[in-house]
A = this chain, B = another copy of it.
Amino acid sequence: MPGNSFGNAFRITTFGESHGTAVGVIIDGVIPGVALSDEDIQVEMNRRKPGQSAVTTPRNESDRVSIVSGIFEGKTTGTPLTVILYNKDANPSAYTNIKDFYRPGHADFTYHQKYGIRDYRGSGRASGRETAGRVAAGAVAKKILAAQGIVITAYTLEAAGIRCESIDTSIIEDNPMRAADPAAAWKMTEKVTELSEKGDSAGGIVECIISGVPAGLGEPVFDKMDADLSKAVMSLGGVKGIEFGAGFSAAKMLGSEHNDWMDRRGFRTNNAGGVLGGITTGQDIVFRIAVKPTSSIEHPQQTVDIHGDETEIITTGRHDPCLTPRIVPVVESMSALVIIDHILRHRAQNSL
Q: Are A254 and B293 in contact (CB under 8 A)?
A: yes
Residues of B within 8 A of A218 (CB): 3, 110, 114
Query: Among residues 65 to 90 in chain A, which have CB atoms less than 8 Å away from a CB atom of chain B?
Result: 66-72, 75, 77-82, 84
Taking CB as reference atom, which chain B residue is nearest A266?
A: B304
Q: Are A262 and B80 in contact (CB under 8 A)?
A: no
Q: Are B254 and A246 in contact (CB under 8 A)?
A: no
Question: A240 contacts which of B30, B245, B351 (Cβ < 8 Å)?
Answer: B245
The interface stretch among A12-20, A40-48, A167-175 is A12-20
Least Cβ–Cβ distance between A202 and chain B, in angstroms? 6
Q: Are B348 and A79 in contact (CB under 8 A)?
A: no
Residues of B within 8 A of A161 (CB): 252
Q: Are A223 and B247 in contact (CB under 8 A)?
A: no
A234-B226 CB under 8 A given contacts A78-B350, A264-B310: yes
- Each complex incorporates copies of this chain amounting to 4
Residues of B within 8 A of A349 (CB): 2, 9, 29-32, 78, 344
Residues of B within 8 A of A113 (CB): 215-216, 279, 282
Question: A272 contacts which of B3, B14, B105 (Cβ < 8 Å)?
Answer: B105
Residues of B within 8 A of A60 (CB): none
In this complex, the member of A17, A215, A220 whose beta carbon has the largest number of chain B beta carbons within 10 angstroms is A220
Is A146 part of the binding interface, using a Cβ–Cβ cutoff of 8 Å? no
Q: Are B126 and A220 in contact (CB under 8 A)?
A: yes
Residues of B within 8 A of A82 (CB): 15-16, 22, 24
Taking CB as reference atom, which chain B residue is nearest A269?
A: B104
**CA of A284 to CA of B63 in the docked complex: distance in angstroms?**
38
Q: Are B1 and A345 in contact (CB under 8 A)?
A: yes
Is A259 part of the binding interface, using a Cβ–Cβ cutoff of 8 Å? yes
**CA of A241 to CA of B250 in the docked complex: distance in angstroms?**
9
Interface bin, chain A: 35 or more
**DSSP majority for the A interface?**
mixed
Q: Are B260 and A250 in contact (CB under 8 A)?
A: no
Least Cβ–Cβ distance between A268 and chain B, in angstroms? 7
Q: Are B293 and A253 in contact (CB under 8 A)?
A: yes
Q: Are B9 and A68 in contact (CB under 8 A)?
A: no
Residues of B within 8 A of A102 (CB): 262
A117-B72 CB under 8 A given contacts A4-B80, A107-B278: yes
Residues of B within 8 A of A158 (CB): 251
Q: Are A273 and B72 in contact (CB under 8 A)?
A: no
Q: Are B290 and A124 in contact (CB under 8 A)?
A: no
Closest 3 CB pairs of A and B: A107-B277, A3-B219, A241-B243
Can you spell out 21 A-B residue pairs with CB atoms less than 8 angstroms apart? A15-B68, A15-B79, A17-B79, A21-B67, A26-B26, A29-B348, A72-B117, A77-B119, A79-B220, A102-B262, A104-B259, A107-B220, A110-B277, A111-B220, A200-B254, A200-B255, A203-B258, A241-B244, A250-B291, A253-B292, A255-B293
Given contacts A5-B222, A77-B119, A107-B277, 12 further A-B contacts (CB under 8 A): A2-B28, A2-B219, A4-B26, A5-B28, A13-B13, A15-B80, A32-B115, A77-B125, A109-B262, A235-B278, A250-B291, A258-B292
